[in-house]
C-alpha cells in the first residue's frame, strides 16, 4: 500500500518533504544562530533561550507567509497546468492539491504564531524583570544603559511599564496582537462545517488576510529586540568585557572595557519575504476583476426539481475543457462574494452552463432572484481541475455524490459529441459511472442526459461503452413499495432509465475488484466530486487494488477541489 501511495503521490510527497525540510532547516539554523552568535551575547543575558525561540519561529513565519498566497492564485495554477500539459498526468494532478497545501501552510502559521507569541511573552516578562532589578547583576546593569539615547538594549525604560502596556502601545506589540487575532478568525472560520453552511462568514473573515499581511510588514519596523552594533563589538567585545561590566568603577576605569556596549535593532525583513507573492496576488486579483467586467449573456434559465437552477450563458472568448469550474458573482445580491460552480456543459456546445442547488443564503437568494427576473451575472474562469484529464485514461471510473455529479455531466456530454463526430483522439475505451444520491428529486435534471446518452450509445453500437450505476442512499416506504410492485419492468421506476437504481451504498471493494478483473492491464482514472469521507474510502480502494507490477492494472485517484 505504501508503495502504491508513493507511485501515485511521489510529487506531493517530494513537495511535502521539501517544505518540511526547509522549515526544519530555517528553524534550526536561526535558533542556533541567535543562541550562539556573539552579537546577541548581551541580549541573551537578559532573555535567555526565549530569544532564539522567538527569532527562529519568526523566520519560519516569514517563509510560510511567502507560500500561503501561491496555492490560491487560480490563474497561476491554470497557467502551470497549461504549460505542463505535455508532462505526465501524475505531475499535473498534483496541482489539484493546492487547497490541501494552502491549509497545511495555514496550520503551520498558526503553530509558529503560538511559539512566537509565547516566546515574546517570556521576553517581555524578562525585560520587565531586568529593568526592575537593582541587584547589580549583568542583566540589571545592561537594562539601565543608554536610556536617554537610541543605543539601548532593554526596550522597557521605566519601572512603571507593564507587559500589557508594551503589548498594546508599541508597534510590534499592537501589530502582533492584530495579526494573531486575524489568524485565529481566519483559521476557525474556515472549518468544513462553516464553509458548507455559512459560506459568507468564511468568505468575509478570510479577507482579513489583508490585515495579516499589512501587520506582518509593519511588525518588525520598531526593532525592539536588539543586538550589539559592529562598531561596539570592535571596541568592547563581550567575550573580553562582559565580566567587567558589573565590577568596574566608571570614575577610576583604566582598562579597555570602560566604554558601555552600544546596541542597534535587527532590520525588518518580513517585507522581503512576502513582497513577490503579494505582487503576484495583486496581478491575480486585477486579472480577475478585468475578466469579471466582460459581459455575460444569460441565454436560458431552467428551474429543475429539488430547487436546482440551471443557467446557460455566453461570454466572448470563453473557452472551456471538460470538468472545469467557474466563479460566479451576482452584484445585486453581493458585490464581493464569488462562489465556485462546476461547468455542466461540454466544450462542443455553443454555451456554457452550471447547475446551482439551494445550499445556503447566497444560493437561496440567487434562485429566488432568477424566478422573478434575470439579474446581471459576472463570471471568472474557467479554471482547470482533475476531470479534464479523464480522456487520458483508457478506463475511467466517475463517482459523483448528489450535486457532485456536475463535472461528470460535462464529461458524459462531451463523450456523446465525440461519438457523434467519430473523434479518433478519444483514448477512453470504457467508462464506469456511479452516482450516489439521497433523494429521487435530485436525479430528475440529470435523467434526460442519461436517457439520450443511452439511446445514442445503443444506436451507434457502443451500448457497452458506458456502464452506470445509480445508488439511492435515502428512501421511504412508498418508494420501496413502488419499486417492489414494478420489479419486472424494463425501465427503472425511480429514474425511468434502463439501468435499475440500487438502494443503499456501493460496496467499493466489489466494484474495484470487478473493474480490475475486466481490465487487468489498464490504467484506470478514478474521479470523485463528493465528500471527504468518500474520498478516503475510494483512495483506500485505489491503493488496495493497484498492482505493483507496472504491466498490470493501476488506479489513479483524482478529486475535485474548491
Rg (CA), the chain: 31
Q: Which three cell numbers stand for residue 324?
A: 472545469
Where exactly does CATH 3.40.50.80 map onto the chain? 387-446+453-477+484-559
Name the packing angle between helices 171-188 and 199-206 (round to 10°). 160
pLDDT recorded at residue 409: 83
459 vs 162, 205, 447, 498, CA distance in Å? 84, 54, 18, 15
Contact partners, residue 517, CB within 8 Å, separation at least 6: none
Maximum mean pLDDT: which of 334-348, 413-427, 438-452: 334-348
pLDDT for 465 beyond 50? yes
CA–CA distance, 195 with 498 (Å, rounded to integer):
38
Would you say 321 and 382 are in contact if contact means Cβ atoms under 8 Å apart?
yes
Element (H, E) at 16: helix 2-36
Using 50, 70 and 90 to split pLDDT, how confident is the model at 497? Answer: low
Q: What is the pLDDT of residues 331-370, one digit of tens each?
A: 999 888 888 898 989 888 899 999 888 877 889 999 999 9
Answer yes or no: is pLDDT of 502 > 70: yes
Say which range, 86-100, 462-476, 535-549, has the weakest mean pLDDT: 86-100
Q: Where in the chain is the domain with CATH 2.40.30.10?
A: 294-384
In this prediction, residue 110 carries a pLDDT of: 96
The reported pLDDT for the residue numbered 107 is 96
Long-range contacts (CB closer than 8 Å, 24 or more residues apart) made by 155-159: 155/127, 155/224, 155/226, 156/124, 156/127, 156/128, 156/131, 157/131, 158/131, 159/131, 159/132
Cα–Cα distance measured from residue 274 to residue 561, given in angstroms and rounded to the nearest whole number: 26
Residue pLDDT, tens place only, 247-260: 766 667 777 788 88
Query: CA distances (Å), 394 to each of 248, 338, 520, 544, 555, in order?
Result: 84, 36, 12, 20, 11
Pick from 423, 492, 497, 493: nearest CA to 454? 497
User: CA separation (Å) from 423 to 90, 206, 389, 418, 427?
Assistant: 25, 45, 17, 5, 10
Q: What is the mean pLDDT of the chain?
A: 84
Q: How confident is the model at residue 500 (pLDDT cuts 50, 70, 90)?
A: low
pLDDT, residue 499, reads 59
pLDDT at position 370:
93
- As a whole-number percent, the residues of the chain with pLDDT over 90 amount to 37
Lowest mean pLDDT among 170-179, 195-204, 380-389: 380-389
Contact partners, residue 185, CB within 8 Å, separation at least 6: 205, 208
Give the SS3 label for residue 284: helix
Predicted local confidence at residue 111, as pLDDT: 97
Cβ neighbours for 305, distance < 8 A, ≥ 6 positions apart: 441, 444, 445
Quote the CA–CA distance of 264 and 39 in Å, as a whole number: 10
Give the model confidence (pLDDT) of 182-228 as tens digits.
Answer: 999 999 999 988 887 788 889 889 999 999 999 999 998 888 889 99
Quick one: cell of 492? 427503472
Distance CA 379, CA 340 (A): 10
pLDDT at 483: 46
Which one is the CATH code of 387-446+453-477+484-559: 3.40.50.261, 3.40.50.80, 3.40.309.10, 3.40.50.300? 3.40.50.80
Residue 484 binned pLDDT confidence (cut-offs 50, 70, 90): very low
CATH of 294-384, one of 3.30.930.10, 3.40.50.10470, 2.40.30.10, 3.20.20.80: 2.40.30.10
Residue 558 has pLDDT above 60, yes or no: yes
Gap between the Cα atoms of 217 and 275, Å rounded: 9
Amino acid at each position: 500500500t505504501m508503495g502504491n501511495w508513493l507511485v501515485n503521490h511521489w510529487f506531493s510527497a517530494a513537495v511535502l518533504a521539501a517544505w518540511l525540510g526547509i522549515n526544519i532547516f530555517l528553524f534550526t539554523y536561526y535558533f542556533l544562530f541567535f543562541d550562539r552568535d556573539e552579537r546577541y551575547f548581551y541580549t541573551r543575558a537578559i532573555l535567555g533561550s526565549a530569544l532564539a525561540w522567538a527569532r527562529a519561529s519568526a523566520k519560519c513565519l516569514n517563509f510560510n507567509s511567502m507560500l500561503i498566497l501561491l496555492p490560491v492564485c487560480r490563474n497561476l495554477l491554470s497557467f502551470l497546468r497549461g504549460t505542463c500539459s505535455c508532462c505526465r498526468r501524475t505531475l499535473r494532478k498534483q496541482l489539484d492539491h493546492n487547497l490541501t497545501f494552502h491549509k497545511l501552510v495555514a496550520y503551520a502559521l498558526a503553530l509558529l504564531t503560538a511559539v512566537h507569541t509565547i516566546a515574546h511573552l517570556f521576553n517581555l516578562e524578562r525585560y520587565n524583570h531586568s529593568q526592575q532589578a537593582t541587584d547589580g547583576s549583568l542583566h540589571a546593569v545592561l537594562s539601565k544603559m543608554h536610556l536617554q539615547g537610541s543605543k539601548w538594549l532593554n526596550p522597557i525604560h521605566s519601572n512603571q511599564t507593564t507587559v500589557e502596556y508594551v503589548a498594546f502601545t508599541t508597534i510590534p506589540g499592537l501589530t502582533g496582537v492584530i495579526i494573531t487575532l486575524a489568524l485565529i478568525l481566519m483559521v476557525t472560520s474556515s472549518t468544513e462545517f462553516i464553509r458548507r453552511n455559512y459560506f459568507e462568514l468564511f468568505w468575509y473573515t478570510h479577507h482579513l488576510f489583508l490585515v495579516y499581511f499589512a501587520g506582518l510588514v509593519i511588525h518588525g519596523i520598531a526593532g525592539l529586540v536588539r543586538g550589539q552594533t559592529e562598531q561596539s563589538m570592535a571596541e568592547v567585545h563581550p567575550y573580553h568585557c562582559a565580566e567587567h561590566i558589573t565590577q568596574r568603577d566608571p570614575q577610576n576605569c583604566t582598562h579597555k572595557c570602560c566604554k558601555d556596549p552600544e546596541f542597534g535593532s535587527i532590520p525588518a525583513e518580513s517585507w522581503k519575504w512576502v513582497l513577490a507573492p503579494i505582487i503576484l496576488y495583486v496581478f491575480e486579483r486585477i486579472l480577475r476583476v478585468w475578466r469579471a467586467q466582460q459581459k455575460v449573456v444569460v441565454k436560458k434559465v431552467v428551474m429543475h426539481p429539488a430547487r436546482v437552477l440551471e443557467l446557460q450563458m455566453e461570454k466572448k472568448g470563453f473557452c472551456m475543457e471538460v470538468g472545469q469550474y467557474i466563479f460566479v458573482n451576482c452584484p445585486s445580491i453581493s458585490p464581493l462574494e464569488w462562489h465556485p460552480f462546476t461547468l455542466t456543459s461540454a466544450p462542443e456546445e455553443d454555451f456554457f452552463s452550471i447547475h446551482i442547488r439551494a445550499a445556503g443564503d447566497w444560493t437561496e437568494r440567487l434562485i429566488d432572484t432568477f424566478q422573478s427576473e434575470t439579474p446581471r451575472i459576472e463570471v471568472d474562469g474557467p479554471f482547470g481541475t482533475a476531470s479534464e484529464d479523464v480522456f487520458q485514461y483508457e478506463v475511467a471510473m466517475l463517482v459523483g455524490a448528489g450535486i457532485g455529479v456536475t463535472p461528470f455531466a460535462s464529461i458524459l456530454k462531451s463523450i456523446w459529441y465525440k461519438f457523434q463526430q467519430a473523434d479518433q483522439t478519444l483514448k477512453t475505451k470504457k467508462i464506469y459511472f456511479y452516482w450516489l444520491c439521497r433523494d429521487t428529486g435530485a436525479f430528475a435534471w440529470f435523467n434526460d442526459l442519461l436517457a439520450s446518452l443511452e439511446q445514442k450509445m445503443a444506436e451507434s453500437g457502443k451500448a457497452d461503452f458506458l456502464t452506470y450505476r445509480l445508488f439511492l442512499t435515502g428512501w421511504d416506504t412508498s418508494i420501496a413499495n413502488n419499486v417492489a410492485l414494478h420489479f419486472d419492468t424494463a425501465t427503472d421506476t425511480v429514474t425511468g432509465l434502463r439501468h435499475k437504481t440500487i438502494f443503499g451504498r456501493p460496496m467499493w471493494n466489489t466494484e474495484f475488484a470487478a473493474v480490475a478483473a475486466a481490465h487487468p492491464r489498464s490504467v484506470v482514472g478514478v474521479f470523485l466530486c463528493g465528500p471527504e469521507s468518500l474520498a478516503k474510502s475510494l483512495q483506500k480502494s485505489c491503493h488496495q487494488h493497484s498492482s505493483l507490477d507496472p504491466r498490470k492494472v493501476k488506479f489513479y485517484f483524482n478529486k475535485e477541489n474548491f
